[in-house]
Amino acid sequence: MSFSYFIRRILLSIPTILLVTLIVFLLVRLVPGDVVDMIIGTQNFLSEEQILQMYEDFGLDKPLISQYFIWLKSLVTGNLGVSLRTGEDVADLLVQRLPVTLELALLSILFSIIIGIPLGMISALKKNTYVDNSIKVVGLIGLSSPAFWIGTIFIVLFSFYFDNFTIFGYVSFIENPLKNLQIFLLPSFTLGLMIAAQILRITRTSMIDELSKDYVKVAHSKGLSKNKVIYKHAFRNALTPIITITGIQLGYLFGGSIVIENMFALPGLGRLLLQSVNQRDYPVIQAIILFIVIVIVILNLLIDFIYTIIDPRVNLE
């Protein structure tokens, strides 16, 4: 592992993040009418003074490019503005809602790995058999079904067959860990299934790929046990593409969590985002979008680093 590679990789993601902020900035500015008008909208609890302050904050009298830098500067200092609905600090709101989304995301990834990798392995090992074909079809169905549809099926089934099962509602982990996990079960399983379908497919292809390579034949012929060849050699090498796909799925995960949180009434970032969209609470919308994208960029960076640890063959250049 080369240290300079990591540094360079980190430096390379800075322009991406800057471009992302520029895209968000420009999109908001493209909306007809000026930002302050739009932000004020129908709100009338803002005082004259606050409105003037806002004009100044946005630097609307200055050219677009300096407006951008003023905005960027306030972002870097952690000033994300205040919610137009509640007057709360947006950064505080994000911190409040983040744990729910994080828990949903982590549990979903967990489910997707537990389901996706074993099924993909079985499929690869039983290539072109009845088992493989069934798993393939299941994977395709998972890939094609909207998360909200799978979610409704689960909701209908669970409310039918289980009386004591809380579907809608939220209890924090600290308050009641068991109840919390029960509440997260359906949403994270639903979201996890969607991602499992992708992981399954890539696990299958990359395992088949690895198993057909010469080193596997060599390992077999030198008398290694079948399991050892599969798990110690082939699987380890097949992990790289699997991790890539899992990384790409992070975006899907955040998109999906918007749907799932709203469906299951979980008070996370996705629910806050939709509420803010419905209330035209632009500072909150803008902040959540930026936050999600920057988190994704950083997570992808981390995944890149994980590669090099798992798979030393990865070319650092």
Partner 1 sequence: MKRFLKNFIKNPLNVISIIILGIVIFISFFPGIIAPYDPLEMDSQNILQSPNFAHIFGTDQFGRDVFSRSIYGIQSSMKIALSAMIISSVLGTFLGLLSGYYGGLVDQIISRVVDAFFAFPSLVLALFIVALFGATTFNLIVAIGIVYVPIFARTIRGSVISVRELTFVKAAKIVGKSDFKIMLTVILPNIFSIFIVTFTTNFSTAILTEASLGFLGLGVPPPEPTLGGLVGQGTNFILTAPWLTLLPGAIIAIIVLSINILGDGLRDVLDPKFFR
Point out which residues bind partner 1 (CB under 8 A). 15-16, 19-20, 22-24, 27-28, 30-31, 140-141, 143-149, 152-153, 155-156, 159, 205, 208-209, 251-256, 258-259, 262-263, 273-274, 277-278, 285, 289, 292-293, 296-297, 300
Q: How far is the CB of 222 from partner 1 (least distance, A)?
A: 27
CB of 266 to partner 1, least distance (A): 14
**In angstroms, rounded to a whole number, what is the distance separating the alpha carbons of residues 74 and 52?**
17
- Say which residues have a Cβ less than 8 Å from residue 224's Cβ, sequence separation at least 6: 233
Distance of CA 56 to the CA centre of its chain: 35
CB of 175 to partner 1, least distance (A): 26
Alpha-carbon distance of 31 to 20, in angstroms, equals 17
Q: Which of 99/241 has CB closer to partner 1?
A: 241
Smallest distance, Å, CB 171 to partner 1? Answer: 21
Residue by residue, DSSP assigns 248-287 as: HHHHHHHHHHHHHHHHTT--SHHHHHHHHHHTT-HHHHHH
Residues shown for the chain: 317
Select 14 or 52, whichever has its Cβ closest to partner 1: 14
> Among residues 30 and 309, whose Cβ is nearest to partner 1?
30
| Contact criterion met (CB below 8 Å) for 259 and 270 | yes
**Nearest CB to partner 1, comparing residues 70 and 297:** 297
To partner 1, the closest distance from the beta carbon of 156 in angstroms equals 5
CB neighbourhood size of 61 (10 A):
9
- If the CB atoms of residues 171 and 248 are measured against partner 1, the closer one turns out to be 248
